[in-house]
Amino acid sequence: MSKRFVVIAIFIIASAIVGGTFGSGMRGYGSSAMQGNLPGAVDQSASVVNTSFSRNNNAIASVEQAYQAAVEVVSNNYGGEVDYEKMNQAAIQGMLSALDPHSAFFPRPEFTKLREDQDSRFYGIGVNILRHHDGVYVQSPVDNTPAARSGLRYGDRIVEVDGKDARDWTGEQVSKNVRGARGEPVTIKIERAGALAPLYFTIVRDAVPLPSIRNAFMVNPGTGYIGLQGGFTHTTGDELRRAVGALKKENLRQLVLDLRNNPGGLLDQAITVAGQFLPRDHTIVSVRGREYEQPRIYKNNEVDPEDFPLVVLINRNSASASEIVAGAIQDHGRGLVVGETSFGKGLVQRVFQLPFGTGLTLTTAKYYTPFGRLIQRDYTNGSLYDYYVRHDPEDDAQPTQPSRSASPTSSTVPTQPTLAGPAAEPTPTPVPTGPAIRTAAGRVFYGGGGITPDVEVKPLDASPLRARISEAAFYFTRELAAGKLPGLENYRVEQVQYGRFPRSTDFAVTDRVLEAFRNYLRRSPELQLTSAQADTDSEFARLRIRTEVVTAAYGNEAGGRILLESDPQLGRSLEALPEAKRLAESIRRGTALS
């Protein structure tokens, strides 16, 4: 592989990635300038361009010479075998890492996955999985996918994939091996609670949807909830229209739009989402950078936007495209923003396709809210670890929301056990560094530190004890749903009943169930949780057990609704809706709120 691979990009795919904090390891996808295909905000006028280096020929020549000299020294003197492809990829990544936290290199498999994620689907089996302490388990098959049709169940432990031992694999490794070409079979060996011997499933891979909207329902009469937490992909705007339309049929009069943990995605979809709530011709976002002589301004061109009261819910992992939406709603006073200060990802990337199926994202500009706030927080001080991982003492073990044991996603991408904390949070909490910006109704906000909520609310309290309760609740429910607990056979789940949602009486966690949980803990010392410890937070234990058993019976979306019932951030969002209505009305009248 030539040294020129390091410095020459053969193709440019102008895809606007407004991507946020997700990706491989701590590396994030980026954001860019419009009409794109890749997670993040990326311009996608798919032109083929031969990249020119005329401005910096001397500097580039010296880089090439130094790199070539280093390769020759390694080739002629290294005492072991040289993996030139690996070495070259590391050189590119090192070069990009010296620029900013969001310029990143993608080897062929990761670049392929990047494209799949943008297309809102991939080829696999369609199952939510989660790594627990002794292996990777099925959390829930996705409706109408090969996994669901084959009979995989909640609590199935994946021990082999195509004959390869998977007992010590991470969720990511299982996901990688389960995915493949459409129409190709994959054989999975699982251990099932109650089964005397391992079970084998040969499943033919097919297209699996990756929806942006994971939950949409009426919280109470007139009030709707839409969980837009799956990124901004090609289908996001249409998904939102369908969700709002369905809720209108149930007499929707006001809405909470949940963008928590949404890592970002396509810029054009962020504009479409914000545009469904903002008046026509209102500015949604502007992009400023080297490629623009003047800021590039994007305005709403939706013909008939919604005008009902709106609250947008964000947290520390709401990034990029999510921040564009929240910032536009907040700047124009169209609704209130509730939750925690967002991630602060406002760099614009272009996606460059390199030879050999690889690619990179490169920062080319920054984006700003309608009234001129820079969202990107400072990354020049501290390490990359400090940029992504929060370690403030007062926030140890805090989740970004009362999260599921597995996120409601149709992919086989793993998620961490609940209450373990997110994989990418800023340290410290973003501090605004930009000038004061006066927005609609005379409100003042500051740029340079993410989107600051109008109403700050912490997530559900968490602790190491609650993390252990959540883990134990999964293993207990695995036995409960398999019908293995005497006297509780009515909790047995034969198969998922998709499309059903729990009534208050469905799978109630009675005192009898809680006593069975205590007995289970007494004979399961490996869980490192005593019955006495569980009793100190018995209400949380009830919540987690019911969440798990509803997930087993009705699927991830139904289980997610159980957690939302006890979500303090959602609760405060509902309380803020009257204030959001007053704010929007004052903006329309041209008056300020006192």
Query: What are phi and psi for residue 297, nearest 5 degrees?
Result: -110, 130
3-state secondary structure 375-392: CCCCCCCCCHHHHHCCCC
Q: How many residues does the chain have?
A: 594
Is 320 a residue of the active site? yes
Is 32 a residue of the active site? no
Of 345, 470, 573, 581, the catalytic one is 345
**Number of other CB atoms surrounding residue 165 within 10 Å:** 10
Record the tokens describing residue 262, joined without a space.
Answer: 């949404």
Of 117, 156, 331, 454, the catalytic one is 331
In terms of DSSP bridges, do strands 265-266 and 254-258 run parallel, antiparallel, or are they unpaired? unpaired
Going by C-alpha positions, the residue among 392, 413, 242, 228 that lies closest to residue 321 is 228
Is 113 a residue of the active site? no
Instruction: Using the Cα atoms of residue 396, residue 402, residue 406 and residue 408 in order, give the sign of their dihedral.
Output: negative
**3-class DSSP assignment, residue 149:** helix
Chain centre to alpha carbon of residue 216: 17
Cα–Cα distance measured from residue 429 to residue 532, given in angstroms and rounded to the nearest whole number: 36
User: At 215, which helix (H) or strand (E)?
Assistant: strand 213-220
DSSP strands (E only) in 290-394: 296-299, 310-314, 336-339, 347-353, 359-368
Which residue stretches of 141-184 are H helix? 146-150, 171-178
Of 320, 407, 411, 470, the catalytic one is 320
Chain centre to alpha carbon of residue 449: 20
CA dist 521 → 238, 420, 518, 569 (Å): 46, 20, 5, 31
Catalytic (active-site) positions: 320, 331, 345
